[in-house]
Amino acid sequence: MLSVVTQTSKIGFIGLGVMGAQMCAHLIRNGYSNMHVHTRTKSKADPILQMGAKYFDTPMDVAKESDVLFTMVGFPNDLIQVALDETRGALNHLKPGSILVDFTTSRPSLAKEIAEKAKSKSIYSLDCPVSGGDVGAKNGTLVVFAGGEKEALDAVTPLLQCFSQRITHFGGPGQGQQAKMANQIVICSTMIGVCEGLLYARKAGLDLDDFLSTISLGAASSFSVSKLAPRIVKGDYAPGFYVEHFVKDLSICMEEARMMNLRLPGLQLALSLYEELIADGDGRLGTQALIRALERKNQVSLFPSSLDG
């Protein structure tokens, strides 16, 4: 039987990175204070521990204490270890009726595998990748792409509403991940346009701040224009979302597109450019660092330098 989720329920959160820590904090601020957490770098949990959460040394230990377990890790292999490991995986230690909610952007096939194993143990599983970056996580305005049983989603919706502005159920297991893949395809091509537009404006002698403030009110407006382009103009490449994680996402998109017999040249170009960033040592920068790959290709910089031609 599905657990009834209340503010006294035991909540687990595994993965307190750039976004996970903010999401966890919103849950605690909204009264879900019976919080149990784990993250690979324990110091990242310090702000959450100061809010009253309890730290556990392994994901397994968090799972044992959780009625609802949230996971947000970096890569599919991390998720396999956290959720499916035969000895220490969460699904071997969650109670029947509990709910596993995974925020990791991962393979749809893996979401289905997790859901099948969860069902065999009378555990509910949801794949709920999110979008909105560090800004959305901080402001509580993320969007959630949900896949899995609607009954389980309804049970955790009050928790998801603590840090999101929209929650959409796209269908059964894996469909949340499929929706997130489509989202990433939109973002990657948009980011190319933003960076190319900034380079063009720079070479044309336009004031970049004036340019951005103007296009943000017209048809070119987007999250990338309003939130990330100003960081590019300031030379701020701090990660709201890591390049290396974006390459992981786009690689999954390419795999899924091939299985659908789709040819998506914009996606292919974006993936190749972001892979160049990783090859140049920029994998731990934010996705707005795409501008650096295009600067190198054109031997021109947004900033006065010897690269300008």
Which one, of 250, 130, 108, 94, lies nearest residue 186 by Cα?
Answer: 250
Q: Which helix (H) or strand (E) holds 279?
A: helix 265-279
Task: Give the span between the Cα atoms of 272 and 256, in whole angstroms.
Answer: 17
Annotated catalytic residues are 180
Residue for token digits 């290709």?
297
- Per-residue DSSP letter, 226: I
Amino acid identity for residue 101 in this structure = V
Angle of CA points 154, 158, 164, to nearest 5°: 105
How far is residue 2's CA from residue 66's CA, in Å, rounded to a whole number?
13
Q: What is the dihedral of CA 282, 287, 293, 295, to 10 degrees?
A: -120
- Following DSSP, what letter does each residue of 151-210 receive, concatenated? HHHHHHHHHHTTTEEEEEE--STTHHHHHHHHHHHHHHHHHHHHHHHHHHHHHTT--HHH
Is the dihedral angle over the CA atoms 117, 123, 127, 133 positive or is it negative? negative
Amino acid identity of 153? Answer: L
Contact 82, 14 (CB under 8 A): yes
CA 294 – CA 273 distance, rounded (Å): 8
CA-nearest of 141, 127, 113 to 170 is: 127
